[in-house]
Amino acid sequence: MKKTPFTEKHIALGAKMAEFAGYNMPISYSGINDEHAAVRKNAGVFDVSHMGEFILKGEHALDLIQRVTTNDASKLKVGQAQYSSLPNDNGGLVDDLLVYCLEENKVYMLVVNASNIQKDWNWISRHNNRNVEMHNISDKTGLLAIQGPNATTILQPLTEIDLMNMKYYTFAKGKFAGVDNVLISATGYTGAGGVEIYFEDKDDNANKIWNAIFEAGAASGIKPVGLGARDTLRLEMGYCLYGNDIDDTTSPLEAGLSWITKFTKDFTSKEVFAQQKAEGVERKLVGFEMIDKGIPRHGYEIKDFRGDSIGVVTSGTQSPSLGKAIGMGYVRTASAAIDTEIYIKVRDKLLLAKVSKIPFV
């Protein structure tokens, strides 16, 4: 298994470790519910250094990004980021990603899912027919997400960048915890506020940044948080997880991502999505909450009141914030309206649930 710059720290802290996307990653430290609550109410630190980062440079960099992504990156100014997706040739998704504008029209950073780094690199390279300079900096980039309502207050003394007034999906570069050239962005995967911190993994940068964050947050009770709580937090917000809620067979319009699908430009599978927009989709990703007792899990069948199969669960958990089981799944469009009663097949039982609004919290 690959290590992140912080793997030894997780082990020293007694984290429960497991393989994720080829990396030895922390699943939990003090327990998922405890870590989840820390992020919702205070602040928590996630090691997400396993994520992939690509730099695209040159006069045709924007053109390449426009052709391979669904969102409109031409709208980005320096210091702005954007959520987007990489469609394949068949109306499905290669991945979802973030696009950062480092220099308008010329230099961009793409942040992709850990499990898709090579796949995404190959896909973008295949479409790079105008000599855009591409650099895969994934292995030399460290990334920490500090999330929660108190995150920026805790971190502000460590940098001159104005974290307290940083707008959502913007970023700045500067010195952080004595380390130069750190990129701090007002992004995250929890819906709890906070920032993500990108830095070059060289010298003692990882140690300096980690230690400074935990020293600054000691009095406030900042906690390290694992991938277990990252999953419950993102699910409460209805954020898609690649490989569960979106994949090579799902379209952004089915997944509720039509807001990042812009038809003002040409991109892969545009015609497929335009047809779906005109005709409507046959299935939709919905949120649901359990009425009967039971936890929905990825792959469980969804049925209607007649017992007919209408879809499949893509994500499910016991929500720590709500104290009840929630999930997401694809259902036939006719069954996608809010408050529609559906049934989740758990082993041999059909358990009642109802379609609910996303986000759940």
* Sheet order of strands, 81-87 included: 81-87, 93-103, 107-112, 52-57, 133-136
Asked, for residue 117, whether it belongs to a domain, the answer is yes
- Average of per-residue pLDDT values in the chain: 98
Share of the chain above pLDDT 90, in %: 100
- Show the tokens assigned to 332: 């036939």
Total residue length of the chain: 361
State pLDDT tens for residues 186-221: 999 999 999 999 999 999 999 999 999 999 999 999
Asked, for residue 19, whether it belongs to a domain, the answer is no
CATH number of the domain enclosing 59: 3.30.70.1400
Asked, for residue 95, whether it belongs to a domain, the answer is yes
State pLDDT tens for residues 281-323: 999 999 999 999 999 999 999 999 999 999 999 999 999 999 9
Convert 273-290 to b/e letters by CB count within 10 Å (16 or more is b).
beebeeeebebbbbbbbb
Distance CA 51, CA 133 (A): 21
Q: How confident is the model at residue 243 (pLDDT cuts 50, 70, 90)?
A: very high
Q: Are 283 and 98 in contact (CB under 8 A)?
A: no
Q: What does the pLDDT average to over 111-121?
A: 98
- Show the tokens assigned to 257: 């991502």
Q: What is the pLDDT of residue 281?
A: 98
State residue 74 phi and psi, 5-degree precision: -70, -15
Asked, for residue 182, whether it belongs to a domain, the answer is no
Q: Strand 44-47 vs strand 223-225: parallel, antiparallel, or unpaired?
A: parallel
Convert 212-236 to b/e letters by CB count within 10 Å (16 or more is b).
bbbebbeeeebbbbbbbbbbbbbbb
Q: What is the pLDDT of residue 162?
A: 98
Q: What does the pLDDT average to over 164-177?
A: 98
Q: What is the pLDDT of residue 234?
A: 98
Helix (H, G, I), strand (E, B) or coil at 115: helix
Helix (H, G, I), strand (E, B) or coil at 312: strand
Distance CA 134, CA 147 (A): 30
Give me the domain span that covers residue 119: 52-136
Give the DSSP letter of residue 336.
-
- Burial of residue 40, with CB atoms counted within 10 A of its CB: 0-12 exposed, 13-18 middle, 19 or more buried: buried
Q: Are 31 and 225 in contact (CB under 8 A)?
A: no
Q: What does the pLDDT average to over 104-122?
A: 98
Asked, for residue 232, whether it belongs to a domain, the answer is no
Asked, for residue 69, whether it belongs to a domain, the answer is yes
Asked, for residue 115, whether it belongs to a domain, the answer is yes
Facing residues of 225 across strands?
Answer: 46
Q: What is the pLDDT of residue 207?
A: 98
- The rounded Cα 352 to chain-centroid distance in angstroms is 29
Distance CA 25, CA 4 (A): 8
Q: What does the pLDDT average to over 107-135?
A: 98
Helix (H, G, I), strand (E, B) or coil at 324: strand
Q: How confident is the model at residue 36 (pLDDT cuts 50, 70, 90)?
A: very high
* Number of structural domains found in the chain: 1
Residue bearing tokens 């793997």: 7
Asked, for residue 101, whether it belongs to a domain, the answer is yes
